Structure 1
């Protein structure tokens, strides 16, 4: 018997999307089997109150035998389902507001260089459009959070992530930025591209069998943390991407699609000390106060090791 949460219409529709039931292509029997497996695993997670940490521990065990489980998990909706459960728990506890959480993904690397207030993320070798992103970190009362760490990482214009992509320099498009006394952060980088799962890999073959694709829209990942505040895991999407609302990992959130403005006026270009037009995103993060120390910490899961100095 499915859990009450899994039986809800929203989750049932989500399962249809995961299994490609709403897509014309693919094999009907494979769709039905995938839907049952994912539904049963969702039920197991909910019935046994499996924590996110327990899920990632189990996933790491499977990854040792099959590395693409790190892509299969978001592709089959598990990453987002964990967020659904945490959002539901917050609602039940009367916790509202703040920047929405969304999935971390499998490509974070700890130990990125730390800068104060401003950082340049890219190493200058990518010819993509320059991106200037800035904003502030606030608490729920609108008070700036000084000394917060904005840990940011994203792909290059070919959809590759440094460390995982050996053609890139270490920590390219990865930095940690400590907010100023007014809670402000700012960085310069390039507008990233989306990516697809490895062609003909295990994830691609599984998704193709149920009539789905393995594309992610362009996005930028963030951890935002500060003493006394909940650790936030989130990402923003680049507005206008063709896969914006068709993300194979189901990570798109309407409140995480900021406007991206192309700046061509000479005054703006000069102010940023650039040689030509650039894109700009303004986005503020809002943090919840933590109720215990555990909420301030990064979720425990297996991640790539830091790059040796």
Structure 2
């Protein structure tokens, strides 16, 4: 079937059953995606069996809540980041902390703490880690009152709220920076995780000859008045999947060194009996700019 016939079919689609003007933007997007899909079906000779199997697969993935894993796993979420990087570069915004994927496991409403927080509920097993740093503007000046939203997995790779064995906001907090722009938190060292075995994402990745593993990481939203929202994560060095992340989330500049603190006085101050880990990481935010797409946008997110 040639493209002329496909275009005729799409014209019929747009002129049949019309009851109003509709949304011009949605109409343009749907027509383009439908046209590209039809051309791909023709060029790849996709059979009816393959088509309905793919459609049912997407339905299963939606019902199981795995579309949020498939999107990063296919590189689409990373592609959105690259498009935003390009838009900022064209607008003259350079430097700053690199962005990377949000993923599907953020939960709105985490407790707000001033300056310093403990993320775990006190009963969470794992090795202790203390992370701290400064939030700055692109001029290098500290940003007092910035919000550092942080969330990460526990020592077996599970996230609170979705894992009902944990309290809803375990390993989740919003930290407001102090007058010097500083934030600090104590938590337990996260580990990497894998997509649900046998689930929709796993089945797709197996067909592609790929694994579904993520390296250990810690997620952040960083915001401040007059500045662009930063969505990012740090990835923990020495993880076997650090540069082999199925979700394409690891980026240069987001792998800080991890120091082991063996100082007795420091251990005593934390109430721990063995050495703990320390991470130092500063965030740099771009100032607001009207000519660049917004980084604080709406998308479906969980809330507790």
Shorter chain as denominator, the TM-score bin is 0.7 to 0.9
Aligned partner of 2:10 in structure 1 is: none
Q: Is the 8 A contact 2:230 2:295 kept in 1?
A: no
Aligned partner of 2:169 in structure 1 is: 171
1:1-309 correspondence runs (5 A): 64-65=62-63, 67-292=65-290, 298-304=296-302, 306-307=303-304
- The alpha-carbon deviation at position 267 of structure 1 amounts to 3.1
Q: Any stretches of 5+ residues in structure 1 without a counterpart?
A: 1-36, 42-59
- The alpha-carbon deviation at position 63 of structure 1 amounts to 6.5
Q: Residues 213 and 61 from structure 1, CA distance in 2 versus in 1: closer, same or farther, beyond 3 angstroms? A: closer
1: CA distance, partners of 2:296 / 2:61: 21
- The alpha-carbon deviation at position 291 of structure 1 amounts to 1.8
Q: Residues 124 and 296 from structure 1, CA distance in 2 versus in 1: closer, same or farther, beyond 3 angstroms? A: farther
Whose Rg is larger? 2
- Deviation string 1:152-210 (CA, Å, 9 cap, x unpaired) is 00000110000000111110000000000000000000000110000011100110111
- The alpha-carbon deviation at position 127 of structure 1 amounts to 2.1
Q: Is the 8 A contact 1:230 1:295 kept in 2?
A: no
2: CA distance, partners of 1:132 / 1:204: 33
Q: Is the 8 A contact 1:153 1:221 kept in 2?
A: yes
- SS, match of residue 223 in structure 1: strand
2: CA distance, partners of 1:82 / 1:294: 14
- The alpha-carbon deviation at position 91 of structure 1 amounts to 1.4
Aligned partner of 2:46 in structure 1 is: none
2: CA distance, partners of 1:294 / 1:93: 7
Q: Is the 8 A contact 1:227 1:296 kept in 2?
A: no
- The alpha-carbon deviation at position 239 of structure 1 amounts to 0.7
- Deviation string 1:78-118 (CA, Å, 9 cap, x unpaired) is 00000111111111222101101100000000000000000
- Deviation string 1:55-91 (CA, Å, 9 cap, x unpaired) is xxxxx99975452111111100000000111111111
- The alpha-carbon deviation at position 125 of structure 1 amounts to 1.9
2: CA distance, partners of 1:295 / 1:132: 34
Q: Residues 77 and 297 from structure 1, CA distance in 2 versus in 1: closer, same or farther, beyond 3 angstroms? A: closer
Aligned partner of 2:9 in structure 1 is: none
Q: Is the 8 A contact 2:220 2:233 kept in 1?
A: yes
TM-score normalised by the chain length of structure 2: 0.78
- SS, match of residue 216 in structure 1: coil
- SS, match of residue 290 in structure 1: coil
Q: Any stretches of 5+ residues in structure 2 without a counterpart?
A: 1-32, 38-57
Q: Residues 65 and 266 from structure 1, CA distance in 2 versus in 1: closer, same or farther, beyond 3 angstroms? A: closer
Q: Is the 8 A contact 1:225 1:296 kept in 2?
A: no
Q: Is the 8 A contact 2:84 2:293 kept in 1?
A: no
Moved more, 287-296 or 243-252: 287-296
- SS, match of residue 89 in structure 1: helix
Q: Is the 8 A contact 2:215 2:245 kept in 1?
A: yes
Q: Residues 135 and 194 from structure 1, CA distance in 2 versus in 1: closer, same or farther, beyond 3 angstroms? A: same
